[in-house]
Copies of this chain bind each other. A is one copy, B any other.
Amino acid sequence: MPSRKSNSISRREEILEKAAKLFRKTGYAATTMRMIATATGMEAASLYNHISSKQELLEELLFSVASEFTGGMDRAEKLNAGPLEKLEFLVDLHIDLTLRWPDRIALVTGDWVHLEEPKLSAYTGLRNDYEQRFRSLITEGKKQDEMEDINTELGLFSILSTLHWLYSWLGKHPGLETQKIRKELKQCLLGGLRKSEYTK
């Protein structure tokens, strides 16, 4: 009888996965509970035995991703390395998470706006924290003379915007996640910021 409980857990997980896929393709607002139900092979009403609301699905999806990014940033900061190398670690973090959770990551791009208060504030808070720590690495890189004196906000923005869109690109180019691509992406994103004497 342990199967009873574990089935319920995996069923919930399945609902989350199907919901993420539908939210990504159709958007949160346009995705109906009936669509999610059909995808998981049950009636809409039955979903509510596993979850409490559509909003809860969005929350769990987004906060699971946010938590992974925060944890990754923790590890980056603890690295015994310079700011530039920490930034390269973060590029790999984004690649790894995008490969693991492409559908969930897609929600970070736009559907988070459908989060309701107070979860919305909590989410944007986590996001701002992450960006602030990212920004500090750029500032530090410039201070330590590893990086060009480019406007910090501009550098931050140009790197993060590409990282946020990785999911759509990796989806269109499957099997392209190689060491070569990882290296070239770092060159695209950081090459314009890196001082030439730091080029590997």
Contact = CB atoms under 8 A, between A and B. Distances in A.
Interface in A160-200: 161-162, 164-165, 169, 173, 176, 180-181, 184-185, 187-193, 196
Interface string A132-172: 00000000000000001011011101100110110001000
A155 B173 CA distance: 14
Interface residues on A, range: 35 or more
A45 interface: no
A158 B173 contact: no
Nearest to A157: B169
A165 B153 CA distance: 13
A27 interface: yes
Contact of A154 (B114, B153, B164, B184): B184
Contact of A191 (B153, B165, B192): B192
Most chain B CB within 10 A, of A113, A155, A157, A189, is at A157
B30 A187 contact: no
B196 A192 contact: no
A121 interface: no
B27 A187 contact: no
Contacts of A113: 25-27
A1 interface: no
A124 interface: no
A30 B184 CA distance: 39
Interface of A: 25-30, 109-111, 113-114, 148, 150-151, 153-155, 157-158, 161-162, 164-165, 169, 173, 176, 180-181, 184-185, 187-193, 196
Sort A-B residue pairs by CB-CB distance and give the 7 closest, nearest first: A191-B192, A29-B29, A161-B165, A29-B30, A158-B188, A110-B110, A161-B162
